[in-house]
Every structure is written in C-alpha cells, then in structure tokens.
Amino acid sequence: MNSSASFWRWFWVVVIAVPIAVFIVWANITNPRQFVSTLLNGVTLAALYFLVASGFTLVFGLMRNVNLAHGSLYLFGAYMGWVVGDATENWFLAIAAGFASAALVGFLLQISVFRFMQGQELRQTMVTIGISIVLADLMLWWFGGEIYSFDPPRAIFKSMPMLVVNKYPTYRVVVLGIAIVIGLVLWWFLNRTKVGMMIRAGVDDRNMLAASGVNVQRVFAITFAIGAGLAGFAGVIGGTALSISPGEDTRYLMASLVVVIVGGMGSIPGAAVGALLIGLAEQFGLAYAPTYGVVFTFVIMVLVLAFRPTGILGRRAA
C-alpha cells in the first residue's frame, strides 16, 4: 500500500517534471533570448497577480467570504486612481487614491451588508456577484468604454539593462519589487502586529477569538478594507503596466480565483506560489502555444484539484 502510493507519487513527478525539464533545455538551446524574456514576463505578471490575489485570499481566509466583486474593486481602484492622477498629475497620489477608495468601498460593504449575513456563505457570494454586476455597469456608465492609461514618473518607465535580453522595461521590474515589498509588509503585519495576530487567530478559530473578548466585527471590517484596498492598489499598478478598460474586472477576478485555488485558499504564501505558477504558465503559453495558452492555466488547476483539493499550501477549513 505504502510503496504503491510512493510509486504513484514518483510516477506523477516524473510525468510532470520530465517534460518541463526537456522543454527548458530545448527552449534554451533554440532561443535563449525568448526563453529568458518569457521567464521575466511570467515572473513580473505573477507579481501583479500576487498583489490582486493576496487581498482576495486574506478576506477569504478570515471571513470565508468569496468576494466575487474583487475584480470590480480592482477596476474601481484603478479608475479612482486615474481620476486623482489626472487631477494632480502625481502617480504616487494615484496609487494612494486607488488603495483608499477601494478600501473605503470594502469597509462600507462589510459594515453595511456582510455583517448581517455572517455564516451564510452562499448568500454572501451571491451578494458579491450582484454587487459586481451593478458596479461594473455603473463604471461603464460613468467612464465609458474608452481605454485609460496612467502617466507614471519617467524614471521608472524606461528600459533597463538586463542579462541575455539586453533591455527590459524598468516598470515591470518595479512591479516585481512592489509585490515583494507588499508581501513582506503583509507578513510583518500578520505576524508582528496585534491586529495581524487577531486576524491569524480568527482564521484558525473565529469563535475562540470572539470568546476571548476581541471585537470580531472590527477585525473583519479592517481585514475587508485591507483586502479591498490591495485590489484597488493593484488596480493602479496593473493599470499602469497595461491599461484600464471595462472587462479587466473579469480578467483579474479570474486570475485571483485560479491563483487562490491553486495556491491554497486563505494562505498568503499560497497566493505567492499560485501567482508564480499561473503567471509563468500564462506567459509561456502565450509565447510558445498562442491559441492554447489558457489551457496551461486550466491544466495546472485540474492537476492541483485532482491531487491536492485544498491547494498547494492550503489547509482544510476548520
């Protein structure tokens, strides 16, 4: 029994790892430049996905609330950031506005709607779907179907020297740096501050946290605001890298969903691992198999669900 289980584990490792290794060797021999630039694109896209998905997974982990309006919050933050950036001509203020506006919406949603349906997970999810439909249409109404783009400081929007590929857009590297910083800040916040400890305690056992005298509703509201704020923050960062237009909400909701399903629901390191896998899969898919790119993402999701239904770093819900 035991030996057969370990045999199957090795079997699958070989089945999955060998083709990947062969591909890496082949791609490096035939066109190392394409390979390295795809790798860089994948890692930097993963950074953006991590920014979006970390808020989603934070909210899910604590409140078991599948916030399907997360993509709309992303887009909302991006539009608000654009409005502020356009008025003040300051990109950093735009980022702050993106975070603050989305955080405010998240906070209001938690204290005015979700607080009253605690524990009704399916209903909460339905409500977030309704909110996403309404928000998407309101934003389409207000901002129209045009494509908006940001005007970041020149210094970070040039290209920089890079090994093998020679030149690479600075901004993409900046996004990677921001994601790493945000990841570290989240780690520090969750592990070293009192509120963070409350959040972690709430993820493990909500009732016990309430029983020890913590105002759980306040912790929930803070968490929801941070999660939503991260979506808005990512909206400005991602909107600068690409652009803002209707439909981006679905794209980033989808990205957060898949990242979180693959990485493990409710786990921040899981979001990082999932984002890396999905970002790389997407970029390599686009570069090497254009019309089947999305299949790679899907195959990763299927494999993870088949062998680890709770995600790579996920734990079963308490």
Partner 1 sequence: MSAAQWRRAMNSSAGGNAWARPAGASASSPAVVARAASTPPVGASVAFGEAIRAIRFRHVVILLAVLIYPWVATPFFVYQIGGQALALGLIALSLTFLGGYGGMVSLAQMATAGVAGYMVAIFGIAGEAQGGASSLGWPWWIAVPIGIAIATLFATFVGWLSVRTEGIYTIMITLAIGVSFYYLVQQNYSIFGGHEGFNEVHAPTVLGANFSHAIPYYYLALFWALTGYFFIKYLLRAPFGVALQGVRENARRMNALGFDVTAHRIAAYSIAGVLAGIGGVLMVWYNGRISPGTVGTGPMLDILIIAVLGGMRHPIGPFIGAILFVLVQNFAIDIIARERFNLVIGVVFLSIVLFSPDGLLGLWGYVRTRFQAGGVQLKLKGRSVG
| Choice between 161 and 290, CB closer to partner 1 | 290
Q: What's the distance, CA 316 to chain centroid?
A: 21
Please report how close the Cβ of residue 125 comes to partner 1 at its closest, in angstroms: 6
Query: Which tokens hold the place of 20?
Result: 């990947």
Query: Which tokens hold the place of 247?
Result: 């439909």
Question: Considering the rule CB under 8 A, would residue 187 count as an interface residue with partner 1?
Answer: no
Scanning the structure block, which residue is given the tokens 């734990």?
315
Please report how close the Cβ of residue 256 comes to partner 1 at its closest, in angstroms: 10
Question: Considering the rule CB under 8 A, would residue 133 count as an interface residue with partner 1?
Answer: yes
Region 100-129 residues binding partner 1, contact defined as CB under 8 A: 113, 121-123, 125-127, 129
> Helix 32-63 and helix 248-263: axis angle, to 10°?
80
Question: Considering the rule CB under 8 A, would residue 293 count as an interface residue with partner 1?
Answer: yes
Question: Considering the rule CB under 8 A, would residue 12 count as an interface residue with partner 1?
Answer: no
Please report how close the Cβ of residue 83 comes to partner 1 at its closest, in angstroms: 21
Q: How many CA atoms within 13 Å lie on the side-chain side of 105? A: 26
Q: Write out the DSSP string of 70-104.
A: HHHHHHHHHHHHHHHHHHH--HHHHHHHHHHHHHH
Please report how close the Cβ of residue 39 comes to partner 1 at its closest, in angstroms: 21
Please report how close the Cβ of residue 111 comes to partner 1 at its closest, in angstroms: 15
Stretch that binds partner 1, among 39-47, 86-94, 137-145, 219-227 (CB under 8 A): 137-145
Please report how close the Cβ of residue 109 comes to partner 1 at its closest, in angstroms: 12
262 close to 277: Cβ distance less than 8 angstroms: yes
Choose, by CB under 8 A, the member of 103, 136, 216, 241 that binds partner 1. 136
Question: Considering the rule CB under 8 A, would residue 64 count as an interface residue with partner 1?
Answer: yes
| Choice between 231 and 265, CB closer to partner 1 | 265
Question: Considering the rule CB under 8 A, would residue 141 count as an interface residue with partner 1?
Answer: yes
Radius of gyration of the chain (CA): 20
- Give the burial string for 208-242 (b: 16+ CB within 10 Å, else e): ebeeeebebeebbbbbbbbbbbbbbbbbbbbbbbe
Please report how close the Cβ of residue 126 comes to partner 1 at its closest, in angstroms: 5
Question: Considering the rule CB under 8 A, would residue 242 count as an interface residue with partner 1?
Answer: no
Question: Considering the rule CB under 8 A, would residue 254 count as an interface residue with partner 1?
Answer: yes
Question: Considering the rule CB under 8 A, would residue 138 count as an interface residue with partner 1?
Answer: yes
Choose, by CB under 8 A, the member of 211, 242, 305, 318 that binds partner 1. 305
Choose, by CB under 8 A, the member of 130, 147, 205, 212 that binds partner 1. 130
Question: Considering the rule CB under 8 A, would residue 68 count as an interface residue with partner 1?
Answer: yes
Nearest CA-CA partner of 115 in 237, 24, 219, 36: 219
| Choice between 139 and 237, CB closer to partner 1 | 139
- Report the distance separating Cα 155 and Cα 149, nearest Å: 17
Q: Where are the alpha helices (DSSP H) in the chain?
A: 2-30, 32-63, 70-88, 91-112, 121-143, 170-192, 194-204, 206-211, 216-241, 248-263, 268-288, 293-307
94 CB burial (10 A radius; 0-12, 13-18, 19+):
buried
Give contact residues for partner 1 (rule: CB under 8 A): 64, 66, 68, 113, 121-123, 125-127, 129-131, 133-134, 136-138, 140-141, 250, 254, 257-258, 260-261, 265, 290-295, 297-298, 301-302, 305-306, 309-310
